[in-house]
Every structure is written in C-alpha cells, then in structure tokens.
Structure 1
C-alpha cells in the first residue's frame, strides 16, 4: 500500500503570535508543530482521538526547535510533519517550517506511548504498521 501524501499544514501568522517587533515568539513554534502533527495523524487515518479511545496516550517526552529565520506577522507558513521513527513504545516526529522556499525552522518531538494510568505501553501492531507506512524524512 502506498503511504498517503498530503499538503503541508498552512498557517497565517496571527498578530497575537508576535512580539513588539512583529516577529513570531519562539514559544509559538511547538504549538504549530502540534497542529501539523494532528493533521498528519488525520492524513494517516489515525486521529489522536482514536488512539486515546483505544487506551493510549502519546505523551511528549522531548522537544527541540532550531530557529533559522524569523517568521513575521501575516506570513503564510507551510509546516510539514513527518514520522521519522516508529518503535513499539516511542514515536519521533520531525518538522519543517517554510515561508515559500525559505526554511525558517526545524524541529523534533519525541513521544512515549502510555496507557491511561500513564505507564509506558506497547502500541498495538496495527497502529505501528499504519504509522510505519507514513512518509518519513
């Protein structure tokens, strides 16, 4: 089966996301990563709501952002999320934020699967297979 293809998440920078200089605040990027990650999971046919309904949380265990260029108010940004590592209990997503052809930031989030009592848990094989078929970097 061919993995699904989709367009990057498109976000227009809102005024509330900027500082007095009109530059996007650094804490906004992880929020955008979450939006793109949610879109990716939907594109895979596996929304977080379904993962949680099956008894699992994908808890954040690590976050990294590398800032290259400033995003500014009213910029149209394209944010791409990819699953770069799928293991039985952990997932790693990578991100790119572009303004046109210009790369503004990259990032990574690491997640650990837990049950609803917050104990690490192995994800079911069908979920792992679905996620392992996602386009990667």
Structure 2
C-alpha cells in the first residue's frame, strides 16, 4: 500500500471552496503513479517497454467533501491482478475522516491497443 500526502489546491475547488467531483479520479491517478514507482515499475518504464495499463472502469464513492487547503492522504493498493487485468483501490482521508473511496480497473495492452499479457516482473510487482 502506498500513501500519498498532499493538499487540495484552490484550482481544484468550486466557488464554495469544495473540491470538484471530477478531481478525485485525477488524484487516483497520482496515487497509482506513486504506487507503481514504489513497487519498482514506474509507469514511464511500462510504456517504454511497449505496454499500457488502460483504464477500463472507474468508480468513486463520495462520503464527505474535501475543501481547499485540506491536508489529505490517499491510500492506494492493488486488490486483484490477473494476466491481463488489475483492479486498484483508493481511500482518501482528511486525518481519520474517510472522504472518498474508489476503484479503477485496468487492462494491459500493447502499443496497438490490443490486449496483452503483463510482463512477469509487472505481475509480480503489482501482486506485492
């Protein structure tokens, strides 16, 4: 599991200082990138080797509003890995308060966007 610490930026909020709902998937991508870096397979390396982990599904459950300048922690972990797919889970917190949960589903493809088996080292890294 990876923990990404950050503050909600002003540009991510609406006129009431509440983080816009479309920002959460962007934060999930930030957490996913941090997770892969910590697992030893930065996404830039995955692409350089001729693979993409394309988004095939996204779910977000909003529980409480994040606001401008909140100190936030996004926890990211893999819940399922198969030869061509993976599911990644997210929890966003302000202190102990759970603000949102989410899930992204990914399919591994080659550069021509055809489904492909993940390289063995990527499967191992994502499996933990």
Instruction: Give the C-alpha shift of residue 75 in structure 1.
Output: 0.2
Aligned length: 128
Select which of 10, 14, 37 maps to 1:19: 14
Aligned to 2:33: 38
Name structure 2 gaps, 5 residues minimum.
none
Aligned to 2:120: 125
Residues 11-66 of structure 1, C-alpha deviation per residue, up to 9 Å, x if partnerless? 10111111111110000000000001000000001000111111110000000000
Instruction: Give me the whole-angstrom Cα distance separating, in 2, the residues matched to 1:126 and 1:30.
Output: 26
Instruction: Give me the whole-angstrom Cα distance separating, in 2, the residues matched to 1:118 and 1:22.
Output: 39
Alignment of 1:83 with 2:78, yes or no, is yes
Instruction: Give me the whole-angstrom Cα distance separating, in 2, the residues matched to 1:87 and 1:18.
Output: 37
Instruction: Give me the whole-angstrom Cα distance separating, in 1, the residues matched to 2:78 and 2:58.
Output: 14
Name structure 1 gaps, 5 residues minimum.
none
Instruction: Give me the whole-angstrom Cα distance separating, in 2, the residues matched to 1:127 and 1:73.
Output: 36
Alignment of 1:100 with 2:95, yes or no, is yes
Instruction: Give the C-alpha shift of residue 115 in structure 1.
Output: 0.2
Aligned to 2:67: 72
Instruction: Give the C-alpha shift of residue 126 in structure 1.
Output: 2.2
With normalisation by structure 1, the TM-score equals 0.90
